[in-house]
Amino acid sequence: MELRHLRYLEAVADCGGFSGAGRQLHVAQSAISEQLANLESEMGVSLFLRSPRKTSLTQAGQLFLEQAREILASAHYAVEIAQKAGRGEAGSLRVGFFAGATGVDFPHLIQSFRKQYPDVQLALVEMTSSRQWEAIASGAIDIGFTRRLEPEFRTLLQSEVIQEDPMMAILPRGHTAAGGPVDLRDLAHEPFVLSSREISPPVFDKVIELCSEAGFSPRIASISSVWWSVVLMVQAGEGVSLLPINQQQFSMPDLAFCPLLARDAFVDFVMAWAPQRDNNLIARFRVMAQGHALQNRQRLQGKHPVQIEKAEL
């Protein structure tokens, strides 16, 4: 039994005879009659009541036709999905992100992608930057929003800078340096609360680099695993901190978020993927993410102009 047998059966039923089915399918009437006779022989049941004027279905033929229509619809859908997958419009996509991934307006990006590509199954996986690199390399996720790749992953993965997130000083509101842009030399004697290097090496290394360029090594009072914990420590009076900009932080009235006067005071926010597993679906997602990142930068540019330097946020 082949799909063409089911198409012939459907056409004969719809057209009321073999001659009409032949015209509809552009197949010789004799070929359709012979193929359906072979089908009846294979099944061991009569599907048609044949007469010189009209061909109709037996009861068995009617029941078989119902199932045949479902099979043909499923086959058509399978072809359609395969074609969409080939164009990058269907399939599954596993996306890694971390809590600070606001550079692309992440929630809006995901909503827009789901709406435009409803046949894509999106799976969102929250994980730190360092875990994302490993997950992309192993194939556990397909693409990640993360920080600049560490050297050992740069030969395995491909990345694209979405934006450069400015580093900001996070200070108690009453701190003497909280009135405007901060010269890091004014914080040389302060205790620092840092995010863990194990969690995000680029951020930790950038803090050490900036402090070194300012002529001191930070006195580390505490190390936390996530940015929110770092902020809580600063709120509790444990010290000051340097973190990449995060929109959520601007709603905290007891803290000041101050741009830095230091050069190159930013860390890259990137999309990363494995080139050997790249496909049209991943490429479509990247294109949409790039568009959302551009819109987000333009929006932030009007909202926080004082923080805009090299990053052009």
Boundary-marking domain end, from 33, 52, 87: 87
What pLDDT was estimated at residue 66? 93
Residue type, 97: F
Instruction: Using a pLDDT cut of 90, give the percent of the chain over it.
Output: 54
Boundary-marking domain end, from 31, 61, 87: 87
Return d(Cα 15, Cα 28) in angstroms, integer.
Answer: 14
- Mean pLDDT across the stretch 79-93? 90
pLDDT per residue over 8-31, tens digit each?
889 888 888 888 888 898 999 889
Look up the domain containing 74 and give its range.
Answer: 3-87
Residue 305 pLDDT greater than 50, yes or no: no
Residue 270 pLDDT greater than 60, yes or no: yes
Identify which has the larger pLDDT, 38 or 228: 38
Considering only CA atoms, which of 155, 270, 159, 151 is closest in space to residue 205? Answer: 151
The CATH number of residue 214's host domain is 3.40.190.10
Same domain, 138 and 283: yes
Residue 309: C-alpha distances to residues 72, 130, 165, 266 (Å) = 60, 27, 10, 10
Residue 250 pLDDT greater than 70, yes or no: no
What pLDDT was estimated at residue 307? 39
- Mean pLDDT across the stretch 150-165? 92
H-helix or E-strand containing 168? strand 158-172
Q: Please, which pLDDT band fits residue 303 given cuts at 50, 70 and 90?
A: low
Output the six-digit token pair for 69: 């229509």
Tally of structural domains, the chain: 3
**Could you tell me the pTM of the whole model?**
0.75
Same domain, 136 and 274: yes
